[in-house]
């Protein structure tokens, strides 16, 4: 055991104070022992690895043994079912053959075949019809001479299901001296086959053939049989030559089993993979008297489901066994190496800078002596470290304080020097330029009066001169306002009247829609009308310049409101280009501007004038959306500071 830490990592200045574990006793190797090399980790991993290896090997062998047994059982079950169904079909084929041969031996039919007399035709039709009516599966029957020419045709009970068969079928059963059954055929969704029985007049002479076309009745017999075998078993019936499989309810086109097999036994096991990737296993059994065969199959995954369930249970039991074995090994390892690990952890704490680490032990052996020596060494290191940290902290605080004072002094000196120079420049330039600008204004006014009939281009240039002179006067005014701010002469002013005066003063705003939002009960404010008018004019002018050149219809919104304390707020919002967030903190600094023209005094002067009138200006903006400048006036009746 060791005491909990009471301090963090040691400073870089004390990291090499003391190196206690550099002797030949192996202490340094113990200090840098990697976690993956520790016996407390190796022992559980080793035991868990052995358990995993044994369980995986056992599960692999057991799974394959069970899988082989399941596949053998499934194969036997499929084989027995296929043989049983093939035998049932063979018995059904025998009855069909006997019925066809009985009809071929009818005396009325034989007399008509021998004489080929029209007068005997009705008797033959009656004889064949009487036998056909008793068999609902008969689609129709026909008499053919030895050359295949039809002598007569008679409809059966199922003729309407395949009416096209009245025209005959070229792929009928092979006509020979013995009765033959043809393959399955599907027409218009109806599965049928034909039976050809020879009409033999003597032991050597076959006079004609009686061909019966029979419908295979649709039903769910195959589904019922497959359900008795297995939930996912499939029973299909097809022709020996392949290409056709059915469950007697519909034709199966997807993934028929192979048709090659043992020609002697008549049945064989068949495994294949369908087009959808499902592996099947089953048995094919041939029908003796007909060219048919039966397929019984089941997905391999279904057959192996018990083995897979067994494997999952084994894996669950294996996980629990590995967990228990690893936990037991972990407990055993801690009991063996816990004393040495306590000293190791404490040494690592000292090396990491935590000099409060101590080893608590009541042992009287070598480890106990080592722990006592370690604690004595740790106390000496902690005392030295505390003294060093105190001195470093004191010097650091002194240096930090000196740096802060130096930084503040430097900023103050730079600001004062800049303002002094700017004030001197503003006063001199303002007085020197105001008179020439006044003369130019008077000259432009005189020229516009005497040149009333001048060409449009002359009047346009006069307007341009007037605009530029006005801009110059504004710059001069900003310089003078920045150099000296007069004491405000407060009066009660309507915010709406103040805004309307400055809108009239600024003139037309081409391409800009001005929106006013002033509540009728908005209280007046107590400010210097001229100074705050200059502030509003600067904000409107800046908004106009921000929207110039952006294109499209722009909007200038002037909105005022009052809160419960009587403080009035005026928002000047534009839809211009906006101001970046990193520039918002600098726009009120003197000589800072983001515009192509101007000297960066407008907002600085506006803030100074607003503060002189007890107001405050704040800005918010978003690039590409626009900016909003907000003036917070003091409550009505308050005087400027």
Q: List, for residues 372-390, the tens digit of each pLDDT value.
A: 787 888 778 878 878 888 8
Percent of the chain with pLDDT over 90: 2
Domains of the chain and any CATH numbers = 485-632 (3.30.565.10)
Q: What is the DSSP string of 191-226?
A: EEEEEEEEEESSSS-EEEEEEEEEEPPP-SHHHHHH
Express each pLDDT in 227-283 by its tens digit.
556 667 888 888 887 777 887 777 765 556 665 555 556 677 777 787 778 888 888
Residue 284 · residue 267 · CB < 8 Å: yes
Q: How high does pLDDT run on average in the chain?
A: 76
Q: Which two tokens stand for residue 470?
A: 């006005």
Nearest to 152, CA basis, from 143, 160, 161: 143
Look at strands 292-299 and 525-528 and give their pairing: unpaired
Range with the lowest mean pLDDT among 11-25, 295-309, 504-518? Answer: 11-25
Q: How many CB atoms lie within 10 A of CB 110?
A: 19
Compute CA distances 225 → 222, 264, 295, whole Å. 5, 27, 12
Q: Select the more confidently predicted residue: 74 or 171.
A: 74
Q: What SS3 class is residue 144?
A: strand
Within 10 angstroms of residue 128's Cβ, the number of other Cβ atoms is 27
Per the model's pLDDT, the better-predicted residue between 519 and 637 turns out to be 519
Among 15-29, 151-165, 241-255, 422-436, name the one with the lowest average pLDDT: 15-29
253 CB neighbour count, 10 Å cutoff: 9
The string of DSSP letters for 24-69 reads TTSHHHHHT--GGG-HHHHHHHHHHHHHHHHHHHHHHHHHHHHHHH
Tokens representing 489? 């002469």
**pLDDT the model gives residue 218:** 64
Instruction: Please tell me the predicted confidence (pLDDT) of residue 1.
Output: 41
What pLDDT digit, counting tens, does each position of 335-348 carry? 556 666 777 777 77
What pLDDT, on the 0 to 100 scale, is given for residue 132? 76
525: β partners: 493
Relative to beta strand 279-286, strand 292-299 is antiparallel
Confidence of residue 226 (pLDDT cuts 50, 70, 90): low
Q: What phi and psi, each to the nearest 5 degrees, are found at residue 59?
A: -65, -40
pLDDT, average across residues 83-93: 87
Going from the C-alpha of 508 to that of each of 467, 512, 514, 571, the distances in angstroms are: 12, 9, 10, 20
E strand or H helix at 297: strand 292-299
Identify the burial level of 61 via C-beta atoms within 10 angstroms of its C-beta, where 0-12 means exposed, 13-18 middle and 19 or more buried: exposed
CA nearest to 251, candidates 274, 279, 218:
218
Average pLDDT of the residues in 173-195: 80
Instruction: Give me 516's structure tokens.
Output: 């006013």
pLDDT at 598: 59
Tokens of 568: 């009035």
Tens of pLDDT along 496-535? 888 888 888 777 777 888 889 999 888 898 888 888 888 8
Rg (CA), the chain: 55
| Residue 518 pLDDT | 92
**Predicted local confidence at residue 150, as pLDDT:** 84
CA–CA gap between residue 406 and residue 380 (Å, rounded) = 40
> Are 240 and 307 a contacting pair, CB within 8 Å?
no
Between 166 and 554, residue with greater pLDDT: 554
Beta carbons within 10 angstroms of residue 311's beta carbon: 17
Count of residues making up the chain:
641
Q: How far is CA 446 from the centre of its chain?
A: 74
Q: Give dist(CA 92, CA 88) in Å, integer.
A: 6
Lowest mean pLDDT among 52-56, 136-140, 154-158, 250-254: 250-254
For residues 190 and 162, is the Cβ–Cβ distance under 8 A? yes
Residue 96: both structure tokens together: 């069909």
Structural contact between residues 367 and 361, judged by C-beta atoms closer than 8 angstroms: yes
538/609 Cα distance (integer angstroms)? 11
> 209 or 453, which is more confident?
209
**Mean pLDDT within 196-203:** 80
Question: What pTM value is reported for the model?
Answer: 0.45
Evaluate the CA torsion angle 362, 366, 369, 370 in order and state its sign: negative
Lowest mean pLDDT among 173-177, 255-259, 260-264, 305-309: 260-264
- Exposure string over 596-622, b if 16+ CB within 10 A, otherwise e: eebbbbbbbbbbbbbebbbbebebebe
**pLDDT of the residue at 581:** 78
CA pair distance 337, 620, nearest whole angstrom:
66
According to the model, what pLDDT value does residue 347 have?
Answer: 76
Where residue 481 falls among pLDDT bands split at 50, 70, 90? low
Closest CA to 330 of 52, 40, 50: 40
Q: Are 81 and 225 in contact (CB under 8 A)?
A: yes
At 46 the pLDDT is 81
> Which ranges in 451-515 belong to alpha helices (H)?
456-483, 495-506
């Amino acid at each position: 055991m060791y005491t909990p830490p009471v301090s963090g990592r040691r400073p870089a200045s004390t990291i090499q104070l003391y190196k206690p574990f550099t002797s030949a006793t192996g202490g340094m190797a113990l200090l840098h022992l990697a976690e993956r090399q520790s016996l407390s980790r190796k022992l559980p991993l080793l035991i868990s690895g052995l358990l995993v290896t044994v369980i995986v090997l056992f599960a692999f062998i057991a799974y394959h043994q069970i899988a082989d047994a399941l596949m053998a059982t499934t194969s036997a079950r499929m084989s027995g079912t296929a043989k049983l169904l093939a035998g049932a079909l063979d018995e059904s084929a025998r009855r069909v053959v006997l019925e066809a041969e009985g009809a071929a031996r009818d005396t009325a039919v034989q007399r008509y075949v021998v004489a080929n007399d029209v007068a005997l035709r009705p008797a033959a039709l009656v004889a064949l019809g009487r036998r056909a009516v008793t068999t609902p599966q008969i689609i129709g029957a026909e008499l053919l001479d030895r050359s295949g020419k039809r002598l007569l045709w008679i409809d059966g009970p199922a003729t309407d299901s395949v009416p096209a068969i009245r025209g005959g079928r070229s792929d009928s059963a092979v006509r020979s001296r013995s009765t033959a059954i043809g393959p399955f055929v599907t027409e218009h969704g109806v599965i049928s086959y034909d039976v050809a029985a020879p009409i033999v007049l003597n032991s050597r002479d076959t006079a004609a053939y009686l061909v019966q076309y029979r419908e295979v009745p649709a039903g769910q017999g195959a589904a019922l049989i497959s359900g008795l075998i297995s939930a996912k078993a499939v029973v299909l019936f097809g022709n020996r030559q392949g290409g056709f499989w059915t469950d007697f309810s519909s034709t199966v086109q997807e993934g028929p089993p192979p048709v090659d097999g043992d020609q002697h036994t008549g049945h064989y096991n068949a495994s294949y993979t369908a087009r959808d990737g499902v592996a099947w296993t089953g048995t094919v059994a041939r029908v003796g008297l007909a060219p048919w065969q039966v397929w019984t199959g089941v997905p391999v995954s279904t057959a192996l489901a018990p083995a897979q369930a067994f494997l999952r249970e084994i894996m669950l039991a294996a996980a629990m066994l590995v967990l228990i074995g690893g936990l037991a090994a972990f407990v055993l390892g801690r009991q063996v190496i816990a004393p040495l690990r306590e000293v190791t952890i404490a040494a690592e704490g000292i090396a990491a800078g935590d000099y409060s680490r101590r080893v608590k032990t009541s042992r009287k052996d070598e480890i106990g002596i080592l722990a006592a020596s370690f604690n004595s060494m740790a106390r000496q290191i902690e005392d030295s470290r505390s003294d060093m940290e105190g001195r470093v902290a004191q010097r650091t605080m002194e240096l930090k304080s000196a740096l802060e004072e130096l930084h503040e002094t430097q900023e103050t000196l730079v600001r004062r020097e800049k303002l002094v120079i700017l004030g001197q420049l503003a006063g001199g330039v303002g007085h020197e330029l105001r008179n020439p600008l006044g003369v130019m204004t008077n000259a432009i006014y005189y020229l516009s009066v005497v040149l009333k009939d001048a060409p449009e281009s002359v009047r346009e240039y006069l307007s341009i001169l007037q605009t530029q002179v006005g801009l110059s006067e504004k710059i001069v005014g900003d310089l003078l306002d920045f150099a000296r701010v007069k004491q405000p002469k407060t009066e009660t002013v309507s915010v709406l009247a103040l805004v309307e005066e400055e809108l009239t003063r600024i003139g037309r705003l081409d391409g800009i829609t001005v929106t006013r939002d002033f509540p009728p009960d908005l209280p007046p404010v107590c400010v210097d009308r001229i100074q705050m008018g200059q502030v509003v004019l600067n904000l409107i002018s800046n908004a106009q310049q921000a929207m110039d050149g952006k294109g499209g219809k722009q909007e200038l919104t002037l909105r005022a409101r009052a809160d419960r304390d009587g403080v009035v707020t005026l928002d000047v919002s534009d839809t211009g280009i906006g101001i970046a967030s990193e520039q918002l903190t600098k726009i009120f600094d003197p000589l800072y501007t983001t515009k192509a023209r101007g000297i960066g005094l407008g907002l600085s002067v506006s803030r100074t004038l607003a503060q002189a009138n007890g107001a405050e200006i704040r800005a918010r903006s978003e690039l590409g959306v626009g900016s909003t400048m907000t003036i917070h006036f003091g409550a009505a009746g308050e005087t400027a500071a």
